[in-house]
Chains A and B, each alone.
Chain A
Amino acid sequence: MTFWNQTKECMSRDEMTFLQGKRLHKLVEYVYHNSGFYRNKLQAAGVLPDDIREIGDIVKLPFTTKQDLRDNYPFGMFSAPMSEMVRIHASSGTTGKPTIVGYTRRDIEMWSEMIARCLTAMGADRNDIFTVAYGYGLFTGGLGMHYGVENLGATVIPMSTGNTEKHIRLIHDCQTTGIACTPSYALYLAETMKKEGIDRSEIHLRIGAFGGEPWTENMRKEIERNLGLDAYNIYGLSEIMGPGVSCECEAKDGSHIWEDHIYPEIIDPETTKRLPNDGTRGELVFTTLTKEGMPLIRYRTHDICSLIDKPCSCGRTAVRMTRILGRSDDMLIIRGINVFPSQVESVILSLKEFEPQYRLVIDRVANLDTMEVQVEVRPEYYSDEMGRMLAIQKKLEEKLKSVISIKAKIRLMEPGSLERSVGKSNRVQDNRKLQ
C-alpha cells in the first residue's frame, strides 16, 4: 500500500484539526487584506481575522455562492494580483457569462499534488500510461488531470474528447494502463470497442479515474466488466479547483477529500445549519484552505451527499464523501458538462422565432446522455417550406451549442402543446436512472 503524501493523508484527527485551524486563520487574514469582496463580506458579517482561531470557528464565516462569482465577473473574486496568475479556466455561465477561476503557480502545483494523491490511492504509479479524455481547454478536467498524471511521473496521452476510434487505437497499440474520462464515456468506449471486435484481453487497462458526472455502482460494475479495469470515482468542481478534490481509494467506499487543502462541511440546504460528519445527508460546502489565486470560503456546491470521518481500511484518515445523490438546485450534468435550464431559456428568449415556453427531456441512450429541447415556433414563423422550418431548428441548435457546449436535439412542437406557467423544475424531465 503506497501513499503520495502519507503525512497528510494519514494524519491523526487532532493533528489535522490543528493544521486546518492554523490554515483557516491564515486564509481569512489573507483574503481580508487581498480581496475587496471578502473584506466587505467579512465586515458585513462582523467577523475579523482574529475571530478565527480554530477550525470550529468556520461557522462564524459567511457562505460564498455561485451568484457571488457571477456578480464579480470576471476578476472580482481574485485575491492574488494578475501578475501572480498563471492560468484561467472557465465554465459556462447560467446567463451567458462564464464563471472564471484563476490559478497561481502554487495553486497549479497544489492541484497536481492532489491529483497525484488520487492516482496513487487508485494504485497508479510512474509506470502507468494514461489517456486523458476529459475536454482540454477551458474545462478544468483535461488540463487538470494532465498535470496531475505528469506530476505522478506517469505518462499522459492528451486525448481530449471525441475521436473515439483513435482513442481505442491508442489504448490498444500503446498498451495504455490508465484512463481518465466521464463514466458514461467509458461505457461508450467499451461498446465501441466491442463493435470494432476488440476483446478486453487485447487491452491492458487496469485503472480508470472517472468523474465529472454522477454515476452508480451498476455503472461501475459494467465498466469494470467491459474494460477489465478497476473503476474509481474522482470528484471535483472548477470553482474549487477541478478534478481531484476527492477520490476513491482501493476500498471503493467513499471518496477521500484532501482536507488539509480543501475543508468540507455538510449543511442543511434550507437552514444552512452545519450537520455532523456521521453520514447525515446535506449540501456539501468547501473552503479552500491553501489557495492563493481565487480562494473561496464556505462555497456552496449544491451537491447533496454526506461525510464520514472514520478512518478508512486503506489507512487514510482523510474524511470521505459519499456519492453525490442529487442537487439542491436545478443544475443538470449532461455528458460531464454543467447545464442550467436557465441557460437554455435565455437562448430561446434571445431568438424571435420561438415562444418562451420550453421543455427539456434528458435521457441516457447507449450510455450517452442526450438532451432534447422541445419548443414552439411563434405563429408568424410557421412556414409551408420544410427548408425554412429546418433552418429555424438549426438556428436554435447552433446557438445552444455555443452557449452550453452541448449539442441538443431540437424538437419543434405544435402551438400550445407545451404547458404554460409551470415552475422551472417542471420544465425538466430527467429520464436517467442513476439510483
Chain B
Amino acid sequence: MIIKQVSVFLENRSGRINEVTKILGANGINMIAFSMAENPDFGILRMIVSDNDKAVEALRAGKFAVSVNDVISLSIPNMPGALSKVMEILAAKGIFIEYMYAFAKGDTGNSAEIVIRPTYVDRCQVVLTENGF
C-alpha cells in the first residue's frame, strides 16, 4: 500500500528531536513509525504519522523543513525468511531501495510492518501487487 511519509531536516543539536515530538504531541498527532538517517552534520527524521496534513502544518509553523513523499507500507508474516522473500522479488525486478525500516503494530505479533522507500514507488507497488502483496 502506498502511504505518505513526513520527513524533517534536523541540525545535529541536542534537543531537536524532542522539539519535533513535542509539537506532534501537543497537536494530538501519533507517530506510528519513524527512522533517523544521520551524518556528522545533520539528520533526517522520517515518520509515518496519524495525520499528515496536520503534522506538516504544525511542524512548518514550528520553522522546521518538512517534506512529504510516498513510501510503500507492507505487512508481512513475522517469521524467518518472510522479508527475504519480498527482497528477492524486488531484486529480481531491479527495484532499487533507497532505505527501509520496520515497525510493530502493537497487538499480537503475528505480522511485521515494513516501510520501503524505493527509487520509483509506483513501479515497486506494481511489482508487489503482481506478486500477491
Contact = CB atoms under 8 A, between A and B. Distances in A.
B7 A415 contact: no
A377 B44 CA distance: 13
A28 B20 CA distance: 69
B44 A379 contact: no
B42 A384 contact: no
Contacts of B41: 411-412
Interface in B40-62: 41-42, 44, 46
Nearest to A372: B41
A389 B98 CA distance: 13
Interface string A374-394: 000101001111110110000
A377 B7 contact: no
A425 interface: no
Nearest to A417: B11
Contacts of A382: 7, 9, 65-67
A197 interface: no
Could you say which interface size class chain A belongs to? 10 to 19
Q: Is the interface of B mostly helix, strand, loop or mixed?
A: strand
B39 A377 contact: no
B66 A413 contact: no
A198 B18 CA distance: 50
Given A384-B5, A390-B39, A379 B69 contact: no
Contacts of B64: 414-415
A377 B63 contact: no
A411 B41 CA distance: 7
B67 A384 contact: yes
Interface string B47-91: 000000000000000011111010000000000000000000000
Residue among B9, B98, B99 with most chain A CB within 10 A: B9
| Chain B: number of interface residues, binned into ranges | 20 to 34
Contacts of A390: 39
Given A377-B9, A383-B7, A412 B117 contact: no
Contacts of B117: 384-385
Contact of A389 (B5, B44, B63, B69): B44
A384 B7 contact: yes
A413 B99 CA distance: 23
B44 A384 contact: yes
Contacts of A416: 63
Contacts of B92: none
Interface in B1-40: 5, 7, 9-11, 37, 39
A83 to B, nearest CB: 53
Contact of A414 (B7, B9, B67, B98): B9
Contact of A384 (B10, B11, B46): B46
A390 B41 CA distance: 10
19 contacts: A377-B9, A382-B9, A382-B65, A382-B66, A382-B67, A383-B44, A383-B67, A384-B7, A384-B67, A384-B117, A385-B44, A385-B98, A387-B98, A412-B11, A413-B11, A414-B10, A414-B11, A414-B65, A417-B11
Interface of B: 5, 7, 9-11, 37, 39, 41-42, 44, 46, 63-67, 69, 98-99, 117
